[in-house]
Structure 1
């Protein structure tokens, strides 16, 4: 069985989608009108360095993911499951037929704006410590207001929270044997309870969106379970302030019989999947 997987924020890079925007002029024109700027210029040239900003990075990644998928597979046929890492889950829903592409872009724009509005936090990728070790460190008296944000693989966990807490956690992680501790270039403490203001703001956008049953099942990166379209609004709202369970997602797909993973827009998730037992 095959699963198509879509990356989320962090996959952005200048030049992404080169050669694909011209294949979908109508969709690209609609995206420009919806966003109020040229998505092609942003992705291919990024003249003002906006791809580093959440409010621009998320729509750019989502739209590029969508067009790259369409250019290779216009219909859901050929894949048994879809999944996406955080933001990439919106692409999975579109590919599965649960969400219209342009409705998804409108949602992603609102999501990005809401998430960009929460500042003052930080995120840190930790390599070489198990989840149990990270959880033990988070209980340390010297670490406060820090949470697991992404369980990306057996070798990579991302934590997020208050900046002072993140600095303290980084020191403790190095002392405990982490082989690498790397800050992420993001504006806030994504996928933690500190993002609840963004979740509440985004709820208004979700209330206006309609979801469909879909043609292919999607495994959620928040729950690691099959997505129920009836509960999608609550799931996508919760996603903003809940940790990404990518390890659980991949293990669920494997339990369903998936042996081949096909990623669009890079190899970020493919590399992580190799680190998941």
Structure 2
């Protein structure tokens, strides 16, 4: 079985979408009108470094993801499952027929605005220890305003929270066999500190229609198939709950997926060989070798960029 996965924020770069906009002129014009600026100029030129701003990055990534999927699908390509990492889940819902493209773009735009309003936070990537160990170290140090935000692989998580406590968390977490890397975001995304923004986003979501699709989507929050009636609850909680990418990949494999393909980069496929089919051993070594599932090579450092 084949699954197409969609990345989230962190994959944006100057020149992304090159060649896609000309192949989908009607959609590109409609997207620019909805956003109030030229999506082509934003992605091609990155004027003023706006792609570093989540308010611009999220809609741009969503739209380029969507065009990349449409470009594959127009050649008759079909998949058995879809999944997306955080923001990418909106693309998965569009691809599955559960959400209209322009509705998805409008939702992502509003999502980005609400997330940008929560300031004073930051995020780090932690490579080495398991998520449970990271949580234990944070709580043991009395740090209750920082949280594990993304479970990206068996030995890679991101931690987000308020800047003062996050600075202390860096000191607590650093040690032999542990790498701590900054992630360029301005908010404590995917933590309880985003709860108010999540509630506001729920009100926005209630104004949009979700329907039964033609292809299943695996939720990156629950690691279970996404149901349209859960849309408001799951997509709003996405802002304040950790992204369970490890659980999602394991659930897809358990459902029979043996081939993963990614649009707009290779961040997620690069993580596959670092996710065991079941719980990792005490030393963190995956139980089975899964390198054959990685369709596109990528450096480990690139994989740490996927965060929103």
CA distance in 2, matches of 1:205, 1:129: 37
Residue in 1 that maps onto 2:14: 14
8 Å contact 1:97–1:214 — kept in the other structure? yes
CA distance in 2, matches of 1:131, 1:199: 23
Contiguous gaps of at least 5 residues in structure 2: 277-308
CA distance in 2, matches of 1:245, 1:228: 17
CA distance in 2, matches of 1:184, 1:102: 29
8 Å contact 1:69–1:264 — kept in the other structure? yes
Residue in 2 that maps onto 1:198: 197
Q: 1:259 to 1:17 in 2, by over 3 A?
A: same
8 Å contact 1:55–1:109 — kept in the other structure? yes
Q: More deviation in 81-90 or 8-17? A: 8-17
CA distance in 2, matches of 1:166, 1:74: 45
Q: CA deviation at 1:9?
A: 0.7
2:195 maps to 1:233: no
CA distance in 1, matches of 2:177, 2:47: 37
Which deviations, in whole Å up to 9, do the C-alpha atoms of 1:210-242 show, x marking residues without a partner?
A: 011000000000111100111111110111110
Superposed structure 1 runs of 4+ greater than 2 Å apart: 74-77, 141-144
Residue in 2 that maps onto 1:32: 32
Q: CA deviation at 1:205?
A: 1.5
8 Å contact 2:138–2:172 — kept in the other structure? no
Residue in 2 that maps onto 1:109: 109
CA distance in 1, matches of 2:164, 2:140: 14
Q: What is the number of residues matched between the two proteins?
A: 276
Contiguous gaps of at least 5 residues in structure 1: none
- The two structures, once aligned, show a CA RMSD in angstroms of 1.2
8 Å contact 1:98–1:213 — kept in the other structure? yes
Q: CA deviation at 1:93?
A: 0.2
Q: TM-score, normalised by structure 1?
A: 0.97
Q: TM-score, normalised by structure 2?
A: 0.87
Which deviations, in whole Å up to 9, do the C-alpha atoms of 1:99-151 show, x marking residues without a partner?
A: 00000000000000000000001111001111221021121235231111000
